[in-house]
Amino acid sequence: MENLSFSKNTILIVDDNPINLDVIFKVLDEAGLEVLVAQDGESALQTMEYVIPDLILLDIMMPGIDGFETCYRIKNNASTLEIPIIFMTALGNTEQKIKGFNLGAVDYIIKPFQKEEVLARIKVHLDLRNLTKDLANKNQLLQEKIIEKTVLEKTLQQLNQELENRVEERTSQLQEAVKNLQQIQLQLIQSEKMSFLGQLVAGVAHEINNPVNFIHGNLNHAETYIQDLLEIFQLYQQQLPSPCAEITTRAEEVDLEYLIEDLPKVISSMKVGVEKIRQISVSLRTFSRAESTSKVKANLHEGIDSALLILQHRLKANDKGQKIEIVKEYGNLPLVLCYPGQMNQVFINIIANAIHALEDSSLKRTSEEMKTNPNQIIIHTEINHSQNSAIIRIKDNALGMPEEVRSKVFDYLFTTKSAQKGTGLGLSISHQIVVEKHNGQLSCFSEEGVGTEFIVEIPLEDV
Ligand SMILES: Nc1ncnc2c1ncn2[C@@H]1O[C@H](COP(=O)(O)OP(=O)(O)O)[C@@H](O)[C@H]1O
Ligand SMILES: [Mg+2]
């Protein structure tokens, strides 16, 4: 039996016949197997509570529970059901064999025993059992690996997702930062522009001021001198009613009578012109007044007027004869505590937008329509007594805007204009100035095809 090696497998023999037991014990023991014995089914089941054999040799006819019942119980116990069972039976009992197979037996050995056959069969089933065990172990291992792999894959997926989320988050943070930066840059450019404009205007106003005052002062003298000269000239005429031919001819050449009549008119129209330049210079200086760090009391009407002055050239008739009429309905506003430079900027932004809108609508309206409904900006001011605030309404009769535009006009960078014409900053900056810097309100009402009205409301301090 050198070929058969059983590497320490345990066999349980169950038989009530001591001679049988003895024979088969010897055979198995010699073959190097661990052998356990039981003399009936009950004690076999008990043994298996402590030791699980690798194979069972089971007699059929036994006192107490017989081999079939024992087999049935073994096969119905989760910890023993895998153990291969070989029945030991007398020769030729086919019925018993079938019953045994049906109960889950793997084989039979016939009594009396043929030593080689017994060992060969046991070997086959032990090998099979070991292979099955091995397979089951490998299967288990494989399953564990698969689970491990699935877990790994899941973790990897989660990590991946997390990474993606992080990247997304970071990207949107970056985008936000870039946007903020762009906004700040635009705001800087805008305020840079405004302060440059302010300085320029202040410089020009200052430079104009002296020569204009000069002319203004001298014009008064010139007027008196001319008056005096004319009086004296009249005296001469009275004293010398018939001058010489040379004087008469020259007087006719220059149309002396007309000249005498026109000269005072020339002077007074020059005075009107100079007066106008002086007003402009004052307005310019109001507009460009150095930005005070604290609020000061200011006349808002002056601010509006200086804003209008700066935009004057765009109100005049263009080559198509389209002009914009400014209707001032100024109420009795007190001085308002504010940052005058910033308030002027608000007025300029709103009025410039109205002018823009009117320029656009002029292109779309027939001259007939323009005649019956000429371009107009109405500037109305009043005190709101119940709120104790100053109200400035700036209303145009351009084409208005649809609701989806109106609801966005104060949004940062919102514009419907081309890049050269609009920045989308004017109204958002104005809103900030009115609401945040002055605790006021800026609202916009618009009706498509009819026009737009902006209402600025600045609280008046109780003084
Ligand atoms: N009086 C108005 N009539 C029609 N649309 C206006 C008027 N004022 C402002 N808007 C709309 O509001 C938008 C935002 O204005 P604003 O913030 O001043 O930016 P911008 O003038 O640079 O476009 C304009 O592009 C325009 O569409
Ligand atoms: Mg604008």
Domains of the chain are 10-113 (3.40.50.2300), 293-463 (3.30.565.10)
C-alpha–C-alpha distance, residues 293 and 301, integer Å = 21
Of ligand 1's listed atoms, the one at least distance from the Cα of 423 is 22
pLDDT attached to residue 312: 85
pLDDT attached to residue 187: 72
Six-digit token string for 91: 């020769």
Mean pLDDT in runs of 10 for the chain (463 residues)? 63 93 91 92 93 93 92 94 90 81 90 87 90 90 92 93 93 89 74 70 81 90 92 91 90 91 90 84 68 81 89 82 92 93 89 94 86 94 95 97 96 86 85 91 96 97 63
CB atoms within 10 A of CB 425: 20
Six-digit token string for 231: 């009086």
Residues with C-beta atoms within 5 A of ion ligand 2? 353, 426
375 lines ligand 1 (CB under 6 A): no
CA atoms within 13 A on the CB side of 419: 1
| pTM summary value | 0.55
pLDDT attached to residue 340: 86
pLDDT attached to residue 367: 83
Listed in sequence order, the residues at least 6 apart from 270 whose beta carbon sits closer than 8 Å to its beta carbon are 219
pLDDT attached to residue 34: 92
Alpha helices for 325-417 (secondary structure H): 340-364, 367-372, 403-406
C-alpha–C-alpha distance, residues 80 and 60, integer Å = 18
Question: At residue 91, what is the residue type?
Answer: L
Instruction: State which of 427, 447, 452 you would mutate to test the pocket of ligand 1, scoring each by most atoms of that ligand within 8 A of its C-beta.
Output: 427
Listed in sequence order, the residues at least 6 apart from 381 whose beta carbon sits closer than 8 Å to its beta carbon are 300, 301, 304, 329, 330, 331, 333, 390, 391, 392, 393
- Ligand 1 centroid, distance to 372 Cα (angstroms): 25
Closest by alpha carbon to 286, among 260, 310, 263?
A: 310
- Ligand 1 centroid, distance to 353 Cα (angstroms): 6
Six-digit token string for 362: 């002029």
Average pLDDT, the chain: 88
Query: What radius of gyration, in Å, describes the C-alpha atoms of the chain?
Result: 57
Listed in sequence order, the residues at least 6 apart from 455 whose beta carbon sits closer than 8 Å to its beta carbon are 391, 392, 393, 394, 441, 442, 443, 444, 445
pLDDT attached to residue 3: 45
Q: Is the CB of residue 28 less than 8 Å from the CB of residue 35?
A: yes
C-alpha–C-alpha distance, residues 221 and 260, integer Å = 18
- Give, in degrees to the nearest 5, the angle at Cα 22 between 18 and 25: 130
Six-digit token string for 437: 């810097």
358 lines ligand 1 (CB under 6 A): no
pLDDT attached to residue 2: 42
End-to-end CA distance of the chain: 124
Q: Quick one: which ligand is closest to 401's CA?
A: 1
Of ligand 1's listed atoms, the one at least distance from the Cα of 424 is 19
